[in-house]
Amino acid sequence: MILPFRCAYCGLEFCAIHRLPEAHGCQMVTLARPPPRVELLRIPTPAPEQKLSLRMRTSITEIEHIAVAVILLILIVAFPLFSSGHLSLAELTILSVIVFLALIAHELAHKFTAQKYGLWAEFRLTSSGLLITLLSIFLPFKIIAPGAVMIYGFGATEDQIGKVSLSGPLTNIAQALIAVSLLRLYSSWILALIAFLNIWFAFFNFLPLPPLDGKKIFDWDKTVWSILFGISAFLFFTLGIA
């Protein structure tokens, strides 16, 4: 008779009642090994969200484009005075520094705000902006738009774009207000020039015309645009600096 169950340890055959090792007194059961331990799958704990770095990320290309923009702005401001002999070399140097600070603060504010939101941001010259700005050197009216901070990133919201656009002109208003406040205490042509250039730069950039910052701010929040454009216009037209 062939029994239906064979013991896995002693190799003998048993019926259904005695098939288990303990039921037939299996002498080889001591060779049995415990089943391999199954390690539970460990799911790594998510790392805490890292804070966005405010360290400026730039490139050689961006530095070159900013340098060209600064030179153009200096030419626009200094050309009428220098060509008429009303500007010495020392004054030209001071003017260059003031222009550089007004422009670099404006563009870096755009850049840092965009990078705060995790967006790629670098200043780039544009062909149309360069042409208009070059023509402004010789024209009685000045249009300063050689380039802009280009922003790229998936998921950028209208609110973020609006705040990035707003940050630039705000730095010029801040510089102008500081200079105007100091002018109340100290009479200085350097402070007057700082105030004038920054007020002019802020007022111009708040105009709601593409590709200026004012257009993007106007589309984002008309109340914010109205208040700040009004402030820049008041400073430009009523403080006796323009």
Residue 153 located in a structural domain: yes
Residue 192 located in a structural domain: yes
Residue 137 located in a structural domain: yes
Number of structural domains in the chain: 1
List the chain pLDDT tens, one digit each, 242 residues.
445 667 776 777 766 666 676 666 666 655 555 555 544 444 444 444 334 444 567 889 999 998 998 888 888 777 666 666 677 778 878 888 888 899 889 999 999 999 999 888 899 998 888 888 888 777 777 777 788 888 887 778 889 999 999 999 999 999 999 999 998 888 888 899 899 889 989 998 999 988 889 999 999 999 999 999 999 999 888 765 44
E strands present in 48-113: none
87-107 burial, b if ≥16 CB within 10 A, otherwise e? beeebeeebbebbbbbbbbbb
Residue 19 located in a structural domain: no
Residue 113 located in a structural domain: yes
Work out the number of other CB atoms within 10 angstroms of the CB of residue 135.
11
Any idea which residue has 């973020």 for tokens?
Answer: 160
Residue 204 located in a structural domain: yes
3-state secondary structure of 187: coil
pTM, two decimal places: 0.68
Work out the number of other CB atoms within 10 angstroms of the CB of residue 23.
13
Structure tokens at 94: 């001071």
Q: Which domain covers residue 204, as residue numbers? A: 60-238
Give the residues across from 148 on adjacent strands: 124
Are the beta carbons of 150 and 124 closer than 8 angstroms?
Answer: yes
